[in-house]
Chains A and B, each alone.
Chain A
Amino acid sequence: MATKVHMEALSPTMEEGQIVSWLKSEGDEVSNGDVLAEIETDKATMELVARGEGVLRKILVEEGGTAPVGDVIAVIGDEDEDISDLVDGDEAPDETDEAEESEEDADDEAEAEPEAEEEPEEEDGEKPEEKETEAEEEPEDEDGKEAEEKEPKEEADAAPEKADAPAAGDEERIKASPLARRLAAEEGLELSALEGSGPGGRIVKRDVEKAVEEGVPGEAEAPEVPAFEPAAEEDYEDVPLSQMRKTIAKRLVESIGPVPHFFLTVDVDMTRMVDARARINARLESEGIKVSYNDIILKATAMALKKHPECNAHWGGDHVRRFNRVHLAVAVAIDDGLITPVIRDAHLKGLAHIAQEVRELAGRARDKKLKPDEYTGATFSVSNLGMFGIEEFTAVINPPEAGILAVGGLEERPVVVDGELDIRTRMKLTMSCDHRVIDGAQGSRFLQTLTSILEEPLMALV
C-alpha cells in the first residue's frame, strides 16, 4: 500500500519547509523510520523520517524546493504498485486546460499549488465560522437591549455632546448620572440649564426632579442628524471577497508584507510598432505633436485594461473594486522624487490626445503645480525607465491600486523568428500585481492582450 510522504511540521511554528537534500533517491528501498530528507524549517535543519515501507517511488518536490506543511512531497510504495492516483494532481499543474481552474496554475507552481489544496480545508474549518460569529455578534448585542432603553439614551447622549458641550477639556463636560441624563431628555430639559448637586457638580435624579417641579425652562432640540446619503453610483463594481480571495489575501500579506506583490514579465516584439510610430509621427508633424513609445504603451495599456477589468482594480480591504473606466497614472521623475499624474479615461482618448496630455501634466508636475486631483484616483500605473537604459525592472505598487507596469527600454536584439535568426526591436514589460486582487493567470491574460496590441498595431482596431 502506497504511503504519501508529507511535508511535516518539524518545528511547532513551521508553516513550510525547504528540502535541503534527499537522502534517498527514487527507486531506493525505504523502511519505516529511515531518514528520507533533510528539511530546513523556520528554525533549523531537521530530519524527515519515512512513515511507510517499500520503495521511494516518486519525489514530488526536488532539492531546494519548498512545500507547505501537509503537502505531499514524495510517495513510497511497492515496486510495481500503481501510484498514479497519488502522483497526479499533486504534481505539475494541468497543462491542457487553463480556462476555468487555472488561475493559480499560471502562477509559480511551488507557491500556487499548496494554496489551491489548502483553501477548501480552511473553508470547512474554523475561519469562515469565526468571521460569521464576529459579524453577527455585534448587532445582536445591541438588539438584546430593549428599544425603550436605547432611544432615550441616544437622545440624552446626543443633546449635551452636540448642542451644549463643545468637545473641549474636562471642565466643559457636563457631569450627570446616566439616570439624570435619561430623565432630562424625557422631560425635554437641557442638562446645561440644570444645577448639579452631586459630587463634583454631578447632575443627579433629584436635580432633574427639582427642575421639573420649579419649572426651569429648557428646550432640548433634537439635533439635526444629516440624512445619510449613499454615494452616487460610480463607474465601478464592488466584488465581495470570496473565501478563497480572503485567504489568498491573508496568506500572501503574511508572506511578503502589506501588499503581496508578484511579477510577470513579457518580452515584446516592438518592430512593427517602431514602424507604426514613425508613420504616425510623420502625419502628426504638421500639428506639432510627437508621440513617444511611452504614449503608445499608455494607450495600449488602457485598451488592454478595458478588456481586463480584473487588473484595473483596487484592493478595498473587504472587497475588490473593479473599475470600468481606466485612469492611468504615469510615473514622472521630479527633482526630489516622483509624482504620478493621472490620465483620466485613458481608454477613451486617442493617442495624440494622450501624448499632449502627458506632456502638459509632466511639465506641470516638474514645476510642482499639479492639483491633488490630478495625481490621485488612478486605477493603474505605468512607470518607464527605458530612457535611462534600463532593460527591465520591477516597480512597486501604489496602493490601493493593484497593478503597475514597469517598462524597459527598446533594444535591437538577435532573435529566432520562424527558425531564422533575425534582428528585432524588443522591449521588456514587467507587471507587478497585488496578489490579493490579481492572480497569475489574470495578469498574464492582460499582458497577452497588451502584447498583441504592441506587436501588431492593427490590433488596436480590433
Chain B
Amino acid sequence: MPEITYREALNQALAEEMERDESVFLLGEEVAEYDGAYKVSKGLLERFGPRRVVDTPISELGFAGLGVGAAMTGLRPIVEFMTFNFSILALDQVINSAAKMYYMTGGQIPIPMVFRGPTGAALQLSAQHSQACETWYVHAPGVKLVTPGTPADAKGLLKASIRDDDPVAFMEGELLYNMKGEVPDPDDGDFVIPLGKAEVKREGADVSLITHGKMVNLALQVAGKLEKEDVDVEVLDLRTLRPLDVDAILASVRKTNRAVYLEEGWPYVGIGSQIVTTIQEEAFDYLDAPVLRVTQADVPMPYAKNLEKLAKPDADRVVAACNRVLYRD
C-alpha cells in the first residue's frame, strides 16, 4: 500500500468525490488560488475550475450560510474553515440552520454538506487559535462529527462524509497534515469508511485507552511505553463522535474492565464526559476502577512554550491515568 500524507489523503478524497458527483463543490477562504491555507485543496482549482473551487471573502457566518442555502436546493457543498476556531463565527448557521433544517421542515429539506478544517492546538498559536471545537458541534442533534486521526481514516471518512445526506463536521488536525501513513491505492477501488465505526488501533487486555482524532497517535505512543512495563493497553479510536460506536466501547471495557479517555479539548462537558457516562450506564458491572479522563488543562491555551506544554495532555499524564485505573500506583 502506498504511504501518503494526511494532507494528500484529504486532497485525494476531495478530488475523487468532486469527480464522482457534479453537485459537490468546495468553498472557503484561500481554497482556490492560494491552494488552501494548509494546501489541502492543492491543484483542485486547476482541475475543477472556479465554479467548483471558490475563494470566499472572510465571512465565516456568511459563506457557511451560503453553503447551507445551496444544500437546501440539493447541492453538496464542502465548506472549509481555515480552522474550526473561526467557525465559532458561523455557529448560528451550523446549529440553527444546518442541524435543525431537516427536523423543522418535517423531513422536507435535508442538508447534505460538510464543514471541514483543522481543530485543536498546533504549536504556540495561543488562546484563540488552539481550541478543540468538537463539543460545540457534537452537542447539537442533527449534526454528525468525524475526527480522523490517520491518513487512511482521513480519506475513507471524508469520502463517506461527502456522500452522507446530513451536515457533517469533519475535524482534521494541523499537526496531522504532514503525517504519513498507508492508504489504499486509488486504482484499487473506491475506499470509503462508513461513519459510526470505531477502530481498535492496538489490541490489548489490561486497560482501554479510548480516544479520537489527533490523540490516537499519543495513545499509541503511550501503549508502546507501557508495553515495556508489561501493561497491555488497548487503543480504541472512535473516529466518529456522532454516530458513536457504543458497542465498540462496551466490548473493549468488558474485556479490560478499566478505561481512560484521552482528548485534546477541555474537560468540562467534554467528549470524555459523554464516554464516561455511557460506560458507567452500560458497563457498570464490568468496571474494576473509575473511568478517568486526560484532557487539556481547564484554561485558555497559553502562549509561553513551557505553559503550553503543561496545558496539553501528554504521555506522562496518560501513563499516570492508566496506572491509576490499574491500581499500579
Write the residues of chain A forming the contact surface with B, with a CB cutoff of 8 angstroms: 145, 149, 152-153, 177-182, 197-199, 204-206
Contacts and interface: CB of A to CB of B under 8 A. Distances in A.
A177 B288 CA distance: 5
7 contacts: A152-B285, A177-B287, A198-B289, A198-B327, A204-B327, A205-B288, A206-B327
B279 to A, nearest CB: 11
Contact of B327 (A149, A178, A179, A197): A197
Nearest to A152: B285
A423 B230 CA distance: 108
A403 to B, nearest CB: 48
A179 B253 CA distance: 11
Contacts of A206: 327
Nearest to B290: A177
Nearest to A181: B285
Contacts of B282: 145
B286 interface: yes
A204 B289 contact: yes
B288 A153 contact: no
The B contact surface, by secondary structure, is: loop
B11 interface: no
Given A197-B327, A198-B327, A205 B257 contact: yes
Interface residues of B, number: 9
Contact of B285 (A149, A197, A199, A204): A149
Interface in B264-289: 282, 284-289
A179 B257 CA distance: 7
B257 A153 contact: no
B327 A153 contact: no
A149 B287 CA distance: 13
The A contact surface, by secondary structure, is: helix
A8 to B, nearest CB: 28
Contacts of B284: 153, 178
A197 B327 CA distance: 8
A235 to B, nearest CB: 46
Most buried by A among B288, B289, B327: B288
Interface in B244-259: 257
Interface in B287-329: 287-289, 327
A200 B287 CA distance: 17
A181 B285 CA distance: 8
B28 to A, nearest CB: 43
A152 B284 CA distance: 12
B257 A182 contact: no
A-B pairs with lowest CB-CB distance, top 5: A179-B288, A205-B288, A177-B288, A182-B285, A178-B285
Contacts of B327: 197-199, 204, 206
Contacts of B289: 177, 198, 204
B207 to A, nearest CB: 12
A178 B282 CA distance: 12
A204 B258 CA distance: 11
Nearest to B284: A178
Contacts of B287: 177-179
A182 B287 CA distance: 10
A182 B288 CA distance: 10
A243 B289 CA distance: 48
A199 B325 CA distance: 10
A182 B283 CA distance: 12
Nearest to A198: B327
A205 B207 CA distance: 13
Contacts of B286: 178-179, 182
A198 B289 CA distance: 9
A30 B31 CA distance: 66
A382 to B, nearest CB: 55
A197 B289 CA distance: 12
A181 B288 CA distance: 9
A145 to B, nearest CB: 8
Given A198-B289, A204-B289, 11 more contacts: A152-B285, A177-B287, A177-B288, A177-B289, A178-B284, A178-B285, A179-B285, A181-B285, A199-B327, A204-B288, A205-B288
A90 B285 CA distance: 62
A11 B132 CA distance: 45
A182 B327 CA distance: 19
Contacts of A180: 288
Nearest to A150: B285
A157 to B, nearest CB: 10
A152 B327 CA distance: 24
A145 B285 CA distance: 11
